[in-house]
Structure 1
Amino acid sequence: MVDWNGSDLEKIAAAEELDLASERGNGTLRAPVTMWVVRSGGHLYVRSVKGPAGPWYRGARSRSRGRIEAGGVRQDATFHQADPGEYPAVDAAYRKKCGHYPSIVEHVLTHRARISTLRLEPR
């Protein structure tokens, strides 16, 4: 596991949204998709509201690498399936950060979304 430097972690975590461009098999990047990003401890996470069936999620899992951009930080990253033990803290982070959108935040708290939780790590 690679750790974020403190400044980048803070900037990305403070951003409401993150752009994620996953890598294709030939090494080129797909078009970026905008999503919410949350921080739990020293880690950053994203989820697919469509769960594992979500198109961006399938692309991200195909090579587990790509590029993210948020809070003025652009970083090549790897995407790791989060352990189910991480889900409660990520749920809490979504509630805290995005709870002012109650009808929307519930979509990232479903079982389908939880099982698509990806931990982002710099590379």
Structure 2
Amino acid sequence: MTTWNESDLMAIGAAEELDLESERGDGTLRAPVTMWVVRAGDRLYVRSVKGVEGPWYRGTRSRHRGRVAVGGVRADVTFHDADPGEYAGVDAAYRTKYGHYPSIVEHVLTETARASTLRLEPR
């Protein structure tokens, strides 16, 4: 596993949203999708409100690779399925960061959304 450098970890973790592009089977990038991102410890995570049936999530399944961009940081990443043992920390990070959107944040805290939790690792 490759780790984030501290400045990228802080910048991405503090951002309200990031743009995520997943790689198609031929290596080209799909159109960017804007989404929430959270930091739990020294790791970054994203989730699909629609769970594993969400279109952008399904796009990550082709090659498990892509790119994220936020605030001056642009990074090539791999998408790793989070272990269920990571869900509680990710849930807490979503509540802390996005709790000021109470009617929206609850959608990323469902079992459906948890099943799509991806850990972003730099490559």
- Name the TM tier (shorter chain): over 0.9
1:91-120 deviation line (CA, Å, top 9, x unaligned):
000000000000000000000000100000
Q: Determine the structure 2 residue equivalent to 1:86.
A: 86
| TM-score (norm. length: structure 1) | 0.99
- How do residues 1-123 of structure 1 correspond to structure 2 at under 5 angstroms? 1-123=1-123
Q: What amino acid is the match of 2:39? A: R
Measured after TM superposition, the shift of residue 72 of structure 1 is 1.7
Distance 1:5 1:86 in 2: 21
Could you tell me which amino acid in structure 1 is paired with residue 76 of structure 2? D
In structure 1, what is the Cα distance between the partners aligned to 2:107 and 2:61? 20
2:61 match: secondary structure: helix
TM-score scaled by length of structure 2:
0.99
The residue type paired with residue 121 of structure 1 is E
Cα distance per residue 1:39-61 (max 9 Å; x no partner): 00000000000000000000012
Contact kept in structure 2, 1:23 and 1:29, CA below 8 Å: yes
Distance 1:106 1:93 in 2: 12
Q: Is the 8 A contact 1:16 1:36 kept in 2?
A: yes
Query: 1: CA distance between counterparts of 2:102 and 2:62?
Result: 31
The aligned amino acid for 1:108 is: V
Percent of residue pairs bearing the same amino acid type: 77
Task: Give per-residue Cα distances to partners, 1:55-75, cap 9 Å, x unaligned.
Answer: 000001221000001132000
4+ aligned runs moved over 6 Å, structure 1 = none
Aligned residues, how many?
Answer: 123
Does structure 2 conserve the Cα–Cα contact (< 8 Å) formed by 1:78 and 1:122?
yes
